[in-house]
A = this chain, B = another copy of it.
Amino acid sequence: MGEENSFLTATYLVSGVGDFYKRAEKIALGLTVGTWTGLSMEEKDKLIKHLGKVEEVQVLPGDEQGQGKALLTISFPVLNVTPDFPSLLTTIFGKGSMDGKIRLVDVTLPEGLRREFPGPKFGIEGIRNLLGVYDRPLLMSIFKQCIGLNLEELNKEYQSQLEGGVDLIKDDEIFFQDDEAPAIQRVRSFEEKNRRHYEKTGKKVLYAVNLTGPVTQLADQAKRLIDAGASCLLLNVFSYGLDVLHQLAADPNIQVPLMAHPAVAGALYQSPDYGIASPLLFGKFLRWAGADFVLYPSPYGSVALPEKEALQIAQHLRQTDRIHRDAFPVPSAGIHPGLTPLLFEDFGLDFIVNAGGGIHGHEEGSAAGGRAFLHAIEAIVSGYTLEEASNYSPELKQAIKQWGVHSR
């Protein structure tokens, strides 16, 4: 990086007994220059610019088992890393990830280093420009079923989602073995439907096609899909690695929005004592790596994040920033129209309402399910209640009958 005297910081939540300052020093040394004691003055002079430093040790209340807890903040010279996630992660949480009860909870990068990460290509404003929707949260529909269906059946499903008036439609993330409806054929067919829908209604829609296959062929596959007309790419980023998203986002030939799916991420963020905290993983890392949309568990469903974390992710993704564009939070799972007031209260205007069962489960079908949601969203942003709006929307009335209205 060539930036002398520039530091990144990592904050760890550690548990255990013993001297937390010593533990912090062990991390600061062990992950940078190794054993410091025993070096000659000359060697110390040479290595000092690579030395990690303990910035803060904040002792927290211990738990019932008498284990102490502390937040340790260590600074690492930017000189030690190259501007990519493998280098960054190995430096701050390589060996360290295996050393006792330890969880990586925050990372800050100095401006120069952050600039070397791509960030979102479009950001919230860019996505709104693509869709021409500015005054409300966007609505995304997930295919009810992908595996095992042929193109004709998927076409039908796509069409009924379109007719619901949604803004985005995404593939199921487990859609790989798609012999009956290869990704390239889906793109051609669904994007043609998008064009016709636009001609007829003036409404633009993005289709997030699942980008899959060997990592070495991913950029080429992305380009093939884009050549076929793809308007958005879905990536199971945690099954590939953060640098894979970074490199796709940095590729000048890939000029469509990138949507990051949280599959496999639970293995990293779910434990309270180990792994990587969800606000850092979803809110910071995915934005730096270049996701325009970040899907993550909502605080409402059965697969849920604590509310504080879900909101902090949204805050990180949307923070105003001279370096990177912002990204759309997509709090997912367990979303139905009756949650719209709560969603709006929690996430405001700039997020994506993402639903599968909450659209397809509508008794009148997926198109009615989409409309119910759209009516709910439009009502709430205009200051009406769902009960008021349902007087004008039989679809919403039905949805409320099925799922109820949830408030805090």
A264 to B214, CA, bound (A): 22
Task: Considering the complex, give the chain B residue whose CB is closest to the CB of A278.
Answer: B98
Complex Cα gap A267–B266 (Å): 11
**Smallest beta-carbon distance A22→chain B, Å:** 12
A115: chain B residues at CB < 8 Å are none
Chain A interface, number of residues (Cβ within 8 angstroms): 74
Residues in B with CB closer than 8 Å to A214 are 84, 243, 246-247
Which B residues are CB-close (under 8 A) to A172?
Answer: 34
CB neighbours (8 Å) of A93 from chain B are 264, 266-267
Tell me, in angstroms, the Cα distance from A124 to B93 when the chains sit together. 30
Could you tell me the distance between the alpha carbons of A47 and B265 in the complex, rounded to whole angstroms?
27
Q: Is A129 interfacial (CB-CB < 8 Å)? A: no
Contact residues, A307-335 vs B (CB, 8 A): none
Q: Which of B34, B79, B239 contacts A145 (CB 8 A)?
A: B34
Q: Does any Cβ of B come within 8 Å of A96's Cβ?
A: yes
- B264 adjacent to A274 (CB under 8 Å): no
Q: A176-B91, A240-B243, A241-B244 are in contact. Are A266 and B148 (CB under 8 A)?
A: no
**Interface 1/0s, chain A 91-116, versus B by CB < 8 A?**
10111111111101000000000000
Residue contact A174 to B91, C-beta cutoff 8 Å: yes
A67 touches B (CB below 8 Å): no
Complex CA gap A149/B80 in Å reads 12
Given A148-B49, A219-B216, A236-B90, A274:B263 Cβ within 8 A: no
A-B pairs with beta carbons under 8 Å apart, 13 shown: A34-B144, A82-B177, A84-B213, A84-B214, A85-B239, A94-B174, A94-B261, A97-B265, A104-B267, A214-B243, A214-B247, A239-B243, A267-B275
Task: State the A residues within 8 Å of B (CB).
Answer: 1, 31-35, 46-47, 49-50, 79-82, 84-87, 89-91, 93-102, 104, 144-145, 147-149, 172-174, 176-177, 212-216, 219, 236, 239-241, 243-244, 246-247, 261-268, 270-271, 273-276, 297, 302-303, 357
